[in-house]
Structure 1
Amino acid sequence: MRIGAHLREDTDPLATANELGIDVFQMFVTDPQGWKKPAPRPDAEAIRDSQFDVVVHSSYQINVASLNNRLRMPSRKAVEQQATAAAELGAFGLVVHGGHLRDGEDAKEGFANWRKLFDRQVDKGGFGVPILIENTAGGDHAMARTLEAIDRLWESVGDFEQAGFCLDTCHAWAGGEDLVGLVERVKGITGRIDLVHLNNSRDEFDSGRDRHANLADGHIDPAVLAEVAKAADAPVILETPADGIPADLSYLRDAL
């Protein structure tokens, strides 16, 4: 099992990864709060040729499910551009949040927009890397908060080879999903888990709030988190507060 961390705004991710002694790291390829096209990285070849596995997290404002053309269209373009940049780093995927609709909008149209994301890219030869759809924590109109929603989403995109899944434990907890046996229930829907974001939660079960905690500091039993990592049999990324990541890594290595 390959274990690592998200390296936030890191100008030298290879040095940080070496310092932490991790196997895999997650990074951004552009400002996560903006719409700028990713710029070429001078260390792209070094990252691509390194011993580390790499995954890229897309920018946060992307919402390909949206019924608003002024949000959905730039979101589609951003996914394409960031997947291309991820491929240049040799990444194994681009993590994209499931997105959400506004009050009163039909979820069926949101799921259809997810299908269109993949459908329209087929004519361009696909994305640079697989798109790993991540479950989200809150919102009554979220596309991937509950297992029921993930089931409907997978009915729309599951037949595309480049559609993958990223399971976030904090998001699942905050979204009201029991973590015990969750891996089996998710795989029963998607057939796969390509990546685990292993995070504890600062908030109580079904809070709808996405606030990560270090493994030993939140409301989730750390032993349950370790069991999720074992069962998923996928690369594990910690998105926990940076100061506690060394302790999180140590706990996880011992638990596994």
Structure 2
Amino acid sequence: MVPDTLLRMRIGAHVRQDSDPIGFGEQLGAEVIQLFVVDPQSWDKPQPHPRAAEIKASPIDVVVHSSYQINVASTNNRLRMPSRNAVAQQAKAAADLGAFGLVVHGGHVRSDAEIEAGIVNWRKLFERQEEKGGFAVPIIVENTAGGNHAMARHFDSIGRLWEAIGDFGAGFCLDTCHAWAGGEELVGVVDRIKGITGRIDLVHLNSSRDEFNSGADRHANFSEGTIDPQLLAEVCRTAGAPVVLETPSEGMAEDLAYLREHLG
């Protein structure tokens, strides 16, 4: 008998061809795809996607990843304020595509003395948007790989953050490369995170080019990385959440094939 978690699990990948995301997903046999709604290195305002109707009509689930420069924790107004606006705008664009959420990195501050302010700034993101009716899709906070003053690198920091934002319905995205590079063991990682946040809404299942606790965010295919592929499969098997691969495109099909073989 197939476990309930496997029945709920949908496996796919981050889209490398934004012009035809569903076609890319179908080519891979993906059940879920992740995409950007803007150039991830820009502050551009999202524009309507030319294939929005096709994306919404497809049986492939969709999640949107926010642009990389967003840092809602920052104590710098010139970064924090546009970050808040970008989260709201990209969440609306995600809703227009029928996405189930918007993934946002935890961000960072400049010193230990600012960490509490960073947590407060995360809470203010939700408080201020709640006054406007809330976000158009759930905000899914992702753990990060590096930074001495990161909001979501170490699990004790995630715990402090969750005390501030968990009651707003924030989701959580577990990135295996980020956890590994950030110095968090992957054995038992699903239970540990669920013990902190009470949930995992998405998994970014990636191996790492670098060693444990390197602080380097460099994804690798399963056969080339430093993380045991069987451990990655175990995270996939136990998380009970959609799984998106962000591994290099050259070996992504092989990574998906490995998962399907080891989860069957």
TM-score tier, shorter chain, comes to over 0.9
2:26 is the counterpart of 1:14: no
1:66 to 70, 74, 83: 74
Q: Which of 218, 221, 233 does residue 228 from structure 2 map onto?
A: 221
In 1: Cα distance, 2:175 partner to 2:87 partner: 20
Which residue in the other structure is 1:232 paired with?
A: 239
- Describe how 1:65-214 pairs up with structure 2 within 5 A: 65-103=73-111, 105-161=113-169, 163-214=170-221
Output the CA distance in 1 between the equivalents of 2:112 and 2:254. 44
- State the partner residue of 2:59: 51
Q: Tell me which stretches of 4 or more aligned residues in structure 1 moved more than 4 Å.
A: none
AA partner of residue 179 (structure 1): L
Indicate if the aligned counterparts of 2:17 and 2:24 stay in contact, CA closer than 8 A: no
CA RMSD of aligned residues (A): 0.8
Paired with 1:246 and 1:156, the residues of 2 have a C-alpha distance of 39
Q: Percent identity?
A: 68
Unmatched segments (≥5 aa) in structure 1? none
Distance (Å, rounded) in 1 between the aligned partners of 2:200 and 2:111: 30
Q: Give the superposition deviation at 1:9.
A: 4.5
TM-score normalized by structure 1?
0.98
Displacement after TM superposition at 1:73 (Å) = 0.1
Alpha carbons 2:176, 2:205 under 8 Å: kept:
yes
Find the partner of 2:256 among 241, 249, 254: 249
Tell me how far 1:42 sits from its aligned partner: 1.8
The Cα shift of 1:62 comes to 0.1
Contact 2:75 2:114 in 1 (8 A): no
- Does the 8 Å contact 1:96/1:132 carry over to 2? yes
Task: Specify the SS of the correspondent of 1:106.
Answer: helix
Contact 1:9 1:28 in 2 (8 A): no
One-letter amino acid of the structure 1 residue matched with residue 149 of structure 2: H
Q: Distance in 1 between matches of 2:128 and 2:37?
A: 23
Q: Secondary structure at the match of 2:45?
A: coil
The residue number in structure 1 matching 2:6 is: none
- Could you tell me which amino acid in structure 1 is paired with residue 137 of structure 2? V
Query: Deviation of residue 30 (structure 1)?
Result: 0.3
Given that residues 137 and 210 in structure 1 are in contact (C-alpha distance below 8 angstroms), is that contact kept between their aligned partners in structure 2? yes
Contact 1:137 1:171 in 2 (8 A): yes
What count of residue pairs does the alignment treat as equivalent? Answer: 255
Contact 1:64 1:75 in 2 (8 A): yes
List runs of 5+ in structure 2 lacking aligned partners: 1-8
Q: Which amino acid aligns with 2:184?
A: E
1:10 Cα deviation (Å)?
2.2
